[in-house]
Amino acid sequence: MAGLRGVIVDIAPLRSSLDYRRLWVGDLLASTAHELVAVAVPFQVFLLTRSSLAVGLVGAAELVPLLLGSLAAGAVVDAHDRRRLILIAQVGAGASAALLALLASAGSPPVGAIYAVAAVIAAFASIEAPVRNASIPQLVGTHYLPPALALNQIVGQVTALAGPALAGILLATVGVTAVYWTAVAGFGVALVAVLRVRPLPPAASGVPARGWGAVREGLGFARSTPVLLSTFVIDLNAMIFGMPRALFPALAVTTYHVGPDGLGLMYAAPGAGALLGAAVSGWVGGVRRQGLAVVVSVVAWGAAIAAFGLVPREWFPLALVLLAAAGWADVVSAVFRNTILQLVAPDAMRGRLSALHIAVVTSGPRVGDVEAGTVAALTSVRFSVVSGGLACIAGVALMHAITPVLARYRAPHAT
């Protein structure tokens, strides 16, 4: 058992804080609802248009609201009650999912309307995520911060696995409208869980900056902290060039011929690998060269995606294994990038920097959707996947050649 404690994720934060446990459960439910929408929207768009480029444009439609939502969160998260902000975001996301369900029940809704509502949901998600992230130290304290961050990764990966798998089953059996209504129910139950969390007023002493002044302070700190800025750049590189999810519908329908069930498995496979990686993340607390761990993880992500693009049609299970390997690499990168942020960020700016972090994490895949769809339209789906994985590796090498600060970063002590 002593040996397992160094491997299995530590659940002490869930035992020590009732409010953190409620917030964690609410996050689990809301994130599952977001994953259902994230699978149903591109599948519906592909069925309506039969175009991977049109699917990629879902990411383009979500990009600006994601960025604006993250900036808005950064402007208010350090100056307002964080529980209230989470509740507002969940009500908005649930109402938007209900609107998608009503549009789907109409039969063949305009694709532009689907883009618009998906953009609104993305905006609410980009507000909620940094607020949740900034609330963790307030609920568990600094002593339990590393295991709490790992537990949050568990949420992300469980939902990335269960959400797409459930969406695939529902799409194959009862249709896209039912997927959206299921998401509405998930948001509703999550809202009840968060309502039971105590208020979370600003933790910073004094009067924090508000509005765009607060955003400028956060951006200024990030620009003046090279190791933090490098974590943002390397993640954008991985997601823009090495994220082929916009191509999953085309791969499922026209390449592997696996239909909606296989599509759900493709979306879920990275989450399965990431869940396994997060579940055995007990070792991460003893790593001091956290920046090097990020670099190695992103290279492994790119290599797995490039290999995935080369898998023959008959070997669909191998394709899922490679996607799972990519997800494992991604979760290791995510844990260390978030840990670096929490260690270098002062408490009074943690909310704003978390908002900037979420803006990077959520906008990168959307830009990647556009990149993947555009390259696939100009060449082929397989070329888009393989070239993206190789470009990700090349980007890491270029960044290290320009500034090796990330690979040289060491944590001030074993966390």
pLDDT at 13: 82
- Owning domain of residue 28: 13-197+209-408
Residue 1 has pLDDT above 60, yes or no: no
Residue 203 lies in a domain: no
Higher pLDDT, 260 or 413: 260
Residue 6 has pLDDT above 60, yes or no: no
Residue 33 lies in a domain: yes
Please write the tens of the pLDDT for every residue from 134-143. Answer: 788 778 876 6
Residue 277 has pLDDT above 70, yes or no: yes
CA neighbor of 42 nearest in space, from 306, 206, 297, 244 = 244
Which one of 14-23, 156-165, 273-282 scores highest in mean pLDDT?
14-23
Residue 1 lies in a domain: no
Higher pLDDT, 138 or 329: 329
Structure tokens, 375: 């390259």
Q: How far apart are CA 172 and CA 78, in angstroms?
A: 44
pLDDT band at residue 118 using 50, 70 and 90 as cut-offs: very high
Please write the tens of the pLDDT for every residue from 52-95. Answer: 788 878 877 887 887 777 777 766 777 778 899 899 999 999 99
Q: Indicate which CATH number applies to the domain containing 152.
A: 1.20.1250.20
Please write the tens of the pLDDT for every residue from 173-221. Answer: 888 999 999 999 999 999 999 999 988 887 555 445 556 677 777 778 8
Q: How far apart are CA 67 and CA 80, in angstroms?
A: 20
CA neighbor of 38 nearest in space, from 153, 143, 161 = 161
Residue 5 lies in a domain: no
Q: How far apart are CA 345 and CA 9, in angstroms?
A: 24
Higher pLDDT, 357 or 328: 328
Please state whether the predicted TM-score (pTM) of the whole model is above 0.85.
no
Residue 348 has pLDDT above 80, yes or no: no
Average pLDDT over the chain, rounded to an integer: 83
Q: Are 244 and 309 in contact (CB under 8 A)?
A: yes
Structure tokens, 76: 């208010």
Q: How far apart are CA 167 and CA 20, in angstroms?
A: 28
Please write the tens of the pLDDT for every residue from 304-323. Answer: 999 998 888 888 889 999 99
pLDDT at 184: 95
Q: Which whole number is the average pLDDT over 152-180?
A: 85
Q: Which whole number is the average pLDDT over 41-60?
A: 84
pLDDT at 284: 62
- Please name the residue that has the structure tokens 């470009």: 391
Q: Are 321 and 270 in contact (CB under 8 A)?
A: no
Residue 229 has pLDDT above 50, yes or no: yes
- Please name the residue that has the structure tokens 């969940």: 90
Higher pLDDT, 268 or 84: 84
Q: Which whole number is the average pLDDT over 116-122?
A: 92
Residue 202 lies in a domain: no
CA neighbor of 7 nearest in space, from 289, 316, 285 = 285
Residue 52 lies in a domain: yes
pLDDT at 28: 92
Residue 2 has pLDDT above 60, yes or no: no
Domain total in the chain: 1
C-beta atoms surrounding 229 within 10 Å: 17
Q: Which whole number is the average pLDDT over 270-276?
A: 83
Q: How far apart are CA 202 and CA 131, in angstroms?
A: 11
Structure tokens, 298: 């992103």
∠ at Cα 325 (322, 331), nearest 5°?
A: 145
Residue 61 lies in a domain: yes
Residue 46 has pLDDT above 60, yes or no: yes
Q: Which whole number is the average pLDDT over 48-54?
A: 83
Residue 138 lies in a domain: yes
